[in-house]
Amino acid sequence: MTSAQLVDGHGRAISDLRVSVTDRCNFRCQYCMPAEGLPWLDRDSVLTFEEITRLVELLASLGVSDVRLTGGEPLIRKDFPDLAAMIAAIPGVKDLAVTTNGFLLERDAEALVAAGINRFNVSLDSLERDRFYRLTRRDSLPQVLAGLDRLAEFPAAHPIKVNAVAMRGVTEAEILPFAEFARQRPFEVRFIEFMPLDADHSWSPEQVLPGSEIREVINNVYPMTEVAREPSATARVFRFNDGKGQMGFINPVSEPFCDDCNRIRLTAEGTLRTCLFSIGETDLRGPLRSGASDADLEQLIRDAVWKKELKHHVGDPGFVQPSRSMSAIGG
């Protein structure tokens, strides 16, 4: 049974849900968490597969059709492909994606595709082994590249997107190698501007390498033409003029795309966030475990979504960085 479409107070229809299945990660990326890691949630605090499925079923009945599974690192959660299959079977879920650091992809690619995941985003911030190690604090570039190659063997997994966080003083040397990577292999490389979601709260605007600068560097060597933007898309996509691949640019700092945002987030412990940069959250786990009906949960969700932020305020005077880092929020 379906209910009226979930909308916020600004008239935006909500159809995209990001679900963090764990706050744990096997990397320690500089822009996400300290070298020593973060205190992990108790396992009892994390939503069970059944609880996640119930909430996704409810949200699907409210018009959510696109679901992305994230972490932390989702593939480290035990039996993760089973959860993916449970969600893929939910009526109304038309698109099921996963964001992963790729370390376990060589092992899990076949099971994930079989479970029904049809879109993959793989984080890869450097193609140079030493720089990859400095950024992630793990010497794992060969494993990630092997995982990408394994995933590419499955036609149902395409298009495969490779995400690189763009940071000034770090990423400049990677721009053309990544462009060539996108031209030579079946991946769309996407540069994502560095956002204030680091656990150390050391982000500054000077560290942001804008997508416009990256595009200019690539265009000077490999001319590109922009593809028409899909409604609510986070990325501006450019196709190489000679037809050999394409690039994406996600520019939340220099070119915010809040106007038609259709996304909400569910954290690993069951709180609803209406913006990546939300300061407040709505607890769904407590009511869920206390016997709340679907109608009760729906009202909680509608009330929270109605108050969804019009925009983030990164760069505005008085901006307050969320207390949670990206790993705790979910990508």
Domain boundaries of the chain, sorted by first residue = 16-329
pLDDT digits 0-9 by tens, 79-123: 999 999 999 999 999 999 999 999 999 999 999 999 999 999 999
CATH of 16-329, one of 3.40.50.2300, 3.90.1170.50, 3.20.20.70, 3.40.1350.10: 3.20.20.70
pLDDT(207) > 70: yes
Question: What residue has token string 């769904």?
Answer: 284
Residue 67 above 90 pLDDT? yes
d(CA 261, CA 259): 6
pLDDT of the residue at 59: 98
Closest CA to 46 of 71, 26, 65, 75: 71
Q: Return phi, psi of residue 201, to 5°.
A: 55, 40
290 alpha-carbon distance from chain centroid: 30
According to the model, what pLDDT value does residue 197 have?
Answer: 65
Residues 6+ apart with CB under 8 A from 72: 20, 21, 22, 23, 24, 25, 268, 327, 330
Q: How far apart are CA 210 and CA 250, in angstroms?
A: 9
| pTM tops 0.85, yes or no | yes
Q: How far apart are CA 304 and CA 58, in angstroms?
A: 15
Q: What is the rounded CA–CA span in Å between residue 190 and residue 96? A: 19
Q: Is the pLDDT confidence value at 50 over 90?
A: yes
For the cut 80, the answer to whether the pLDDT of residue 140 exceeds it is yes
Cα–Cα distance measured from residue 50 to residue 66, given in angstroms and rounded to the nearest whole number? 19
DSSP letter at 167? B
Look-up: residue for tokens 């786990």? 285
Higher pLDDT, 51 or 277: 51
pLDDT at 194: 87
What is the arithmetic mean of pLDDT over 74-81? 97
Report the alpha-carbon distance of residue 109 to residue 156 in Å, rounded: 11
Residue with tokens 């979504």: 305
pLDDT at 183: 97
